[in-house]
Chain A
Amino acid sequence: QKEVEQNSGPLSVPEGAIASLNCTYSDRVSQSFFWYRQYSGKSPELIMSIYSNGDKEDGRFTAQLNKASQYVSLLIRDSQPSDSATYLCAVIGDDKIIFGKGTRLHILP
């Protein structure tokens, strides 16, 4: 059974600080990795995709991938109250997207 693991949180981070969200996956051959943001009562929104080892930056978001360690992370710089949401890590396995259970992030004003 292919798995994607995330700490459920809540992760509380002061406004303006860096939020660090982590994810591990079990399928060593996975090649595609995604981060989705989901506000309460809303649908998931794709915020980052990463396919190669290293860092990928987009505005205040940085995704980091380490395939050897089977680890993917999301950094949010200058955290804002509007970043408070559940962040879902997703990995492709068996030609299907497999979601982690999500980490609830709470930005403290």
Chain B
Amino acid sequence: DTEVTQTPKHLVMGMTNKKSLKCEQHMGHRAMYWYKQKAKKPPELMFVYSYEKLSINESVPSRFSPECPNSSLLNLHLHALQPEDSALYLCASSQQTSGMSSYEQYFGPGTRLTVT
């Protein structure tokens, strides 16, 4: 089973709203990732969690706040977003963040976010 689930599938929010994106995997993976993808662009790494600790933050604005409550769950808290933050937000997981095959990342279906 290589399934990563994400909720919600679609989200429309105003610039003053607070919302959260959720991601879950049951593959026993110890690394989880958040990506942002704009149309016709590759995924852009935002955050990496390894063994439930934040290991990489790609200089993401503080209006995006990640959280890893346990090894299966990953959240992305959103606050005071801008219209340019509208994108497909992808969660991914991998066995670990080192060792060749451990880098194989499996993506969830994504959340399509629109900021109005």
- Listed in ascending order, the chain A residues whose CB lies under 8 Å from chain B are 31-32, 34, 36, 42-46, 49, 51, 88, 92, 95-97, 99-102
Instruction: Give A104's nearest chain B residue, CB to CB.
Output: B40
Residues of B within 8 A of A34 (CB): 103-105
A96-B45, A101-B42 as given contacts; A46 in contact with B104, CB under 8 Å? yes
Q: B48 and A99: CB pair below 8 A? A: no
Residues of B within 8 A of A51 (CB): 100-101
CB distance from A7 to the nearest CB of B (A): 14
CB distance from A99 to the nearest CB of B (A): 4
A102 CA to B103 CA in the complex, in Å? 19
A88-B42, A101-B42, A102-B42 as given contacts; A95 in contact with B98, CB under 8 Å? yes
Choose among B41, B100, B107 the residue that contacts A101 (Cβ–Cβ < 8 A): B41
Instruction: Give B106's nearest chain A residue, CB to CB.
Output: A46
Q: B42 and A49: CB pair below 8 A? A: no
CB distance from B61 to the nearest CB of A (A): 19
- Listed in ascending order, the chain B residues whose CB lies under 8 Å from chain A are 41-43, 45, 48, 56, 88, 90, 97-98, 100-101, 103-110
Q: B105 and A46: CB pair below 8 A? A: yes
Q: A97 and B45: CB pair below 8 A? A: yes
Q: B90 and A43: CB pair below 8 A? A: yes
Q: Interface centre among B98, B107, B109, by most A CB within 10 Å?
A: B107
A-B contact pairs, 25 of them (CB 8 A): A32-B100, A32-B101, A34-B104, A36-B107, A42-B110, A43-B88, A43-B90, A43-B107, A43-B110, A44-B43, A44-B107, A46-B105, A46-B107, A49-B104, A51-B100, A51-B101, A88-B42, A92-B100, A92-B103, A95-B97, A96-B45, A96-B56, A97-B103, A99-B42, A102-B42
Q: Interface centre among A88, A95, A100, by most B CB within 10 Å?
A: A95
